[in-house]
């Protein structure tokens, strides 16, 4: 049985989700549909990329991740570690994968989607169209200055945990030799001086910084909502300074 995972900015309760399910179930035999998230903010390909990067795969099932974020008429298809990904041709693929010039990318119009998904399930790549004019963007990484890193919020989960575009490797390379002070933009008198390993390392209701399983910097509160407490917006930044 093939598995198709769905990520979209349709929003929960939208009739578009049901229409997509119906289209897939009618056009593909023996398929299981998994809704990962339909809560991506409208047109927000950075959030969509973050969610795709959280996916983990076990087993040998045929797996297709279908991402529909932003208006588009053409899809870009990519195979990575024996799993298929279908993205809108709006640059999202370049925020998830580092694509080199020699890698094979395919394309299809929306009207051909179900037909192409069947081809992917059967691994019939000879019938797929080679992609041209694929939109590529530069991944927005945390900005480094002399003794400082400035990182930007890229995702907030339903529990109010906020994730920023700073990975553990970049952080450790910058601050391996000294202590640091981290401050949330527009939040006075709140500073962080360490990275914690789990929520219980601070008291109930207290805020902390930690790295997620996938290595993103995360602002959280032990049994609380960091996004609401600190009024975190889409463009909120955290500045981390060596001390």
> DSSP 3-state assignment of 160?
coil
Query: For residues 162 and 1, which has the higher predicted lDDT (pLDDT)?
Result: 162
Cβ-based neighbour number of residue 159 at 10 Å: 12
Write the pLDDT tens digit of every residue in 3-58.
999 999 999 999 999 999 999 999 999 999 999 999 999 999 999 999 999 998 88
Structure confidence at residue 148 (pLDDT): 96
The C-alpha atoms of residue 29 and residue 23 are separated, in whole angstroms, by: 11
Q: Which residues have C-beta within 8 Å of that of residue 33, sequence separation ≥ 6?
A: 3, 4, 6, 21, 24, 25
Question: Could you give the dihedral angle defined by the CA atoms of residues 217, 222, 228 and 231, in that order, rounded to the nearest 10 degrees?
Answer: -50
Residues in the chain: 243
> Class of 2-130 per CATH?
alpha beta
The C-alpha atoms of residue 221 and residue 202 are separated, in whole angstroms, by: 9
Q: Which residues pair with 211 in a beta bridge?
A: 217
Write the pLDDT tens digit of every residue in 118-177.
999 999 999 999 998 999 998 888 999 999 999 999 999 999 999 999 999 999 999 987
| Contact call for residues 209 and 196 (beta carbons, < 8 A) | yes
pTM for this entry: 0.90
The CATH topology of domain 143-242 is Elongation Factor Tu (Ef-tu); domain 3 (2.40.30)
pLDDT above 80: residue 92: yes
Sign of CA dihedral 50, 118, 106, 70: negative
Two domains, one topology: 2-130 and 143-242: no
Break the chain into its structural domains and give their ranges. 2-130, 143-242
């Amino acid at each position: 049985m093939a598995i198709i995972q769905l990520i979209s900015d349709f929003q929960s309760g939208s009739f578009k989700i049901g229409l997509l399910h119906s289209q897939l179930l009618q056009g593909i035999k023996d398929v299981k549909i998994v809704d990962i998230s339909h809560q991506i903010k409208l047109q927000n390909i950075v959030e969509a990329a973050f969610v795709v990067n959280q996916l983990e795969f076990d087993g040998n099932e045929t797996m297709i991740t279908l991402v529909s974020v932003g208006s588009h008429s053409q899809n870009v298809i990519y195979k990575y570690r024996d799993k298929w990904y279908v993205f809108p041709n709006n640059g999202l693929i370049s925020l998830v994968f580092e694509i080199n010039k020699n890698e094979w990318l395919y394309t299809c119009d929306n009207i051909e989607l179900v037909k192409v998904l069947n081809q992917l399930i059967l691994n019939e790549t000879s019938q797929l169209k080679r992609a041209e004019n694929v939109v590529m963007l530069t991944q927005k990484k945390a900005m480094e200055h002399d003794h400082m890193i400035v990182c930007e919020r890229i995702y907030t989960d339903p529990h109010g945990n906020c994730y920023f575009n700073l990975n553990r490797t970049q952080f450790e390379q910058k601050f391996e030799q000294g202590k640091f002070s981290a401050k949330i933009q527009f939040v006075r008198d709140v500073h962080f001086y360490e990275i914690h390993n789990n929520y219980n390392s601070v008291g109930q209701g207290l805020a902390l910084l930690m790295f997620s399983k996938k290595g993103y910097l995360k602002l959280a509160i032990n049994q609380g909502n960091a996004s609401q407490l600190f009024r975190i917006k889409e463009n909120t930044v955290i500045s981390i300074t060596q001390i």
